Chain A
Amino acid sequence: MSRSSWLERIWPLVPVVAALLFVVFLLLGFGAEPGTALSAIIDGAFGSTDKVLSVTAFWIPLLLASIGLMVTFTAGLWNIGIEGQLAMGAIGASAVALNVNAPPYILIPLEILAAMAAGALWAAIGGVLKTRGKVHEIFSGLALTNLAIILTNYLISGPWQPPEGGSFRGTAPFQDAALFPRLLESRFSPLTLILTLIALAVVAVMLSNTFWGLKLKALGKNPKSAFLLGVSSERETIYAMMFCGALAGLGGAVRVLSWFDSLRQSISGGIGFLALLVVMLAAYRLLWVPFIAFFFSAVLNGSITLQLRTQLHSSLGGILTGVLVLFVLLFGEYKKLGFRREPPETPAEVSHE
């Protein structure tokens, strides 16, 4: 009994250690020194001020998307289309940056509004397809994501191509007034951190202290009884999608106006999909989301240095995060593994039924 409770207490560490071991064996299989590889990742993430700022700058849109997903997950929705909502946000911000001439204090709010509106609109399509068309949000989300990526590629190779000719890589750099003010020539803009913290606070209050949060929870837990209690599942579904899409769209604006200085190919960079992993690993607890998102950002940025130094494919970072989430899903809960059987029901109890 005491042995079991001791095991139970350290159990949450088991999937983490197992995931690390998985990656170590993978590295050994490729003849790489695991110590060197892991230190390259750590060095790539925290080796200098600039690198820490890069990790932070990558963390911001990831966190925004994750916060947004907390809303859709609460409503029981699998918003896989978030990747495309990020890209649409980037497109929305770019449209303003390329076409409006104004001082920064007008231009930047306009860009943010356009990005959030574009993300929300793209998400709303998924919501309407679900409620009106009975198309599952996973499939519409996937299709809409691919359409957003195709649209991005069209814009940068067509109407928005740089004056010297289309390169398929990106638009010309935006005017300085259009970019978020950045710290120390890095990719990180403190303004985006403030906006993200506001979003975090709003969602925290919204989910736990408002009637709308309660409605979403009801919808997520049991859509049928929520409907019977007068929660309009149609309206709440669309609003939840739009809320998430707006935050993802803001994340897209951060990508173009702070991480880059232009609209690029694969602008969303897998951040939306990664955000889904963040929220799953956090087991849908908002408080854990910022920390896990930061850890993921460090791992992914670090593995770029890994590739530069050791020629190993940078997908190792994605493998570590993916395996970690998988192992936590599979083995995270000690009780579910059935090491300790529940005492069987006594025959007397059964016969009373």
Chain B
Amino acid sequence: MNESEFVLVLASIFLQASPLMIAVAGEALTERAGVVNLSLDGSMLMSAMTGFVVAYTTDNIWLGFLAAALVGAFFALIVAFGSIYLKQSQVAIGFVLTLLGDDLSAFLGQNFVRLPGPSFSKFTIPLLSEIPILGPIFFDQNVIFYFAVILALVTYWWLFRTQPGLHLRASGERPDAAFARGVNVNRVRYLYTVLGGALVGIAGASYSLAIKIGWSDGHTRGFGWIALAIVIFGGWSPIRGAVGAVLFGATKAMATYLQRAFPEVSVVAFNSIPWILMIAVLLVVGSDFTERFTAILPKPLQGPVRQLLRVAPPMALGNTFGEDP
């Protein structure tokens, strides 16, 4: 692999990771507020289909993204309504929506399968793209990539550096305390579930309109679940989640490369990598491995590293909050 090929591979890794980064940022907002939107796989399929169909029929890519965001927000609203108002199991509703989104997208999109459609193209940032190596990787990219990076930074800033972000996290960590301090917990949860869902919708559309252009049955199947796992791996932080999405993309790219280098090894070995990785990563996150790892580090490093690797879920994640004022 020569240098320019290497740069191309890196650029494609960041591009492939972009929709996952967007979905992870959205779901991190939702889960930080205390709601699990498990419907990601289905709502991404629905929004990928809707985004493509709307962009194709109106020939307007922005309308496609808008429609996809609305679909994602609507799926999330069902989860929020079912869990907050009806106090039903979030997992049950999310899982049913996952299956339903899969079938519904296949049915609704049946006349739009494998059609050439509009898509987002590259946007070269002047000057910055001239930088050797870094330029072509980061500044000669698809618009979706810039959006994903900015989104990860903005959601991180919103979560950890602003007052509304504090209220959002409080609603997910200690809803009773937040309520006592005057935060309308359930309104916060509705808001960020729907907002997170809209971002998941944009993530779905960025597959069908930028990364894997077009529509077919099960077009994005699996990516929703991977995004959910990356949220955990990323410790419910949009930036660490973005890193996780890139690592995931890198592993997949490496698998593709290895497959070409060693054609005699069965394709099975490479197809199974994402799923084995998913289990392995969640095992590491769930075990006391990080504790043991930080313990062998020099004393002054232990605090910051532990902070960096901390992976405790929001304490009230998945619990309903009954205030009944």
Chain A residues packing against B (C-beta within 8 Å): 26, 78, 80, 129, 133-136, 138-140, 142-144, 146-147, 150-151, 153-154, 158, 273, 276-277, 280, 312-313, 315-316, 318-319, 322-323, 325-326, 329-330, 333, 336-338
Kindly identify, within residues 58 to 110 of chain B, every residue whose CB is under 8 Å from any CB belonging to chain A: 78, 81-82, 85-88, 91-93, 95-97, 99-100, 102-104, 106-107, 110
For A129, list chain B residues within 8 Å (CB): 279, 283
Q: Does B261 contact A (CB under 8 A)?
A: no
Could you tell me the distance in whole angstroms from the C-beta of A138 to the nearest C-beta in chain B?
Answer: 7
User: Are A133 and B283 closer than 8 Å at their CB atoms?
Assistant: yes
Q: A277–B100 Cα gap in the complex (Å)?
A: 11
Starting from the known contacts A138-B91, A330-B93, A336-B88, 12 additional A-B residue pairs (CB-CB under 8 Å) come to: A26-B107, A134-B287, A139-B279, A146-B272, A147-B276, A277-B99, A280-B92, A280-B96, A312-B107, A319-B100, A325-B96, A333-B86
* Closest partner residue, chain A, to B232 (CB atom): A139
For A325, list chain B residues within 8 Å (CB): 96
User: Are A330 and B88 closer than 8 Å at their CB atoms?
Assistant: yes
Kindly count the residue-residue contacts between A and B in the assembled complex, taking CB atoms under 8 Å apart.
108
Instruction: Output the residue of B81, B87, B103 with the most chain A CB within 10 A.
Output: B103
For B287, list chain A residues within 8 Å (CB): 133-134
For B88, list chain A residues within 8 Å (CB): 329-330, 336
Could you tell me the distance in whole angstroms from the C-beta of A49 to the nearest C-beta in chain B?
Answer: 29
For B276, list chain A residues within 8 Å (CB): 143, 147
User: Are B279 and A134 closer than 8 Å at their CB atoms?
Assistant: no
User: Are A330 and B82 closer than 8 Å at their CB atoms?
Assistant: yes
User: Are A154 and B268 closer than 8 Å at their CB atoms?
Assistant: yes
- Return the contact of B107 from the options A146, A151, A315 (Cβ within 8 A): A315
Q: A297–B287 Cα gap in the complex (Å)?
A: 41
User: Are A315 and B104 closer than 8 Å at their CB atoms?
Assistant: yes
Q: Does B282 contact A (CB under 8 A)?
A: yes
Interface of B is mostly: helix
User: Are A139 and B92 closer than 8 Å at their CB atoms?
Assistant: no
Instruction: Output the residue of A134, A135, A146 with the most chain B CB within 10 A.
Output: A135
For A337, list chain B residues within 8 Å (CB): 86
Could you tell me the distance in whole angstroms from the C-beta of B139 to the nearest C-beta in chain A?
Answer: 35
Number of B residues whose C-beta is below 8 Å from A?
39
Could you tell me the distance in whole angstroms from the C-beta of A308 to the nearest C-beta in chain B?
Answer: 15
User: Are B266 and A143 closer than 8 Å at their CB atoms?
Assistant: no
Known: A133-B283, A319-B100. Is A143-B275 also a contact (CB below 8 A)? Answer: yes
Known: A153-B268, A280-B92, A330-B93. Is A142-B225 also a contact (CB below 8 A)? Answer: yes
User: Are B100 and A323 closer than 8 Å at their CB atoms?
Assistant: yes
Top 8 nearest A-B pairs by Cβ distance? A134-B286, A322-B100, A318-B103, A154-B268, A143-B275, A315-B103, A315-B106, A313-B110
User: Are B95 and A330 closer than 8 Å at their CB atoms?
Assistant: no
User: Are B100 and A80 closer than 8 Å at their CB atoms?
Assistant: no
* Closest partner residue, chain A, to B97 (CB atom): A326
Q: Does B166 contact A (CB under 8 A)?
A: no
Known: A134-B287, A329-B92. Is A322-B99 also a contact (CB below 8 A)? Answer: yes
Q: A136–B31 Cα gap in the complex (Å)?
A: 16
0 or 1 for each of B229-249: is its CB under 8 Å from A? (1 = yes): 100100000000000000000
27 A–B pairs (Cβ distance < 8 Å), ordered by A:
A78-B91, A133-B282, A133-B286, A133-B287, A134-B287, A138-B38, A138-B91, A140-B279, A140-B282, A142-B225, A142-B278, A143-B276, A146-B272, A147-B276, A150-B271, A150-B272, A312-B110, A322-B96, A322-B104, A325-B96, A326-B96, A329-B82, A329-B88, A329-B96, A330-B78, A330-B86, A333-B86
- Return the contact of A143 from the options B78, B93, B279 (Cβ within 8 A): B279
Could you tell me the distance in whole angstroms from the C-beta of A307 to the nearest C-beta in chain B?
Answer: 10
For A318, list chain B residues within 8 Å (CB): 99-100, 102-103
For B96, list chain A residues within 8 Å (CB): 277, 280, 322, 325-326, 329
For B97, list chain A residues within 8 Å (CB): 326
User: Are B279 and A319 closer than 8 Å at their CB atoms?
Assistant: no
For B232, list chain A residues within 8 Å (CB): 139
Instruction: Output the residue of A143, A146, A150, A158 with the most chain B CB within 10 A.
Output: A143
0 or 1 for each of B254-298: is its CB under 8 Å from A? (1 = yes): 000000000000101001100110110011001100000000000
* Closest partner residue, chain A, to B88 (CB atom): A329
Q: A338–B88 Cα gap in the complex (Å)?
A: 14
For B78, list chain A residues within 8 Å (CB): 326, 330
* Closest partner residue, chain A, to B111 (CB atom): A30
For B81, list chain A residues within 8 Å (CB): 330
Kindly identify, within residues 6 to 22 of chain B, every residue whose CB is under 8 Å from any CB belonging to chain A: none
Q: A136–B36 Cα gap in the complex (Å)?
A: 13
Q: A139–B91 Cα gap in the complex (Å)?
A: 12
* Closest partner residue, chain B, to A126 (CB atom): B279
User: Are A136 and B282 closer than 8 Å at their CB atoms?
Assistant: yes
- Return the contact of A316 from the options B91, B107, B268, B282 (Cβ within 8 A): B107
- Return the contact of A135 from the options B92, B225, B282 (Cβ within 8 A): B282
* Closest partner residue, chain B, to A280 (CB atom): B92
For B110, list chain A residues within 8 Å (CB): 312-313
* Closest partner residue, chain A, to B275 (CB atom): A143
* Closest partner residue, chain A, to B41 (CB atom): A142
For A315, list chain B residues within 8 Å (CB): 102-104, 106-107
Could you tell me the distance in whole angstroms from the C-beta of B228 to the nearest C-beta in chain A?
Answer: 7
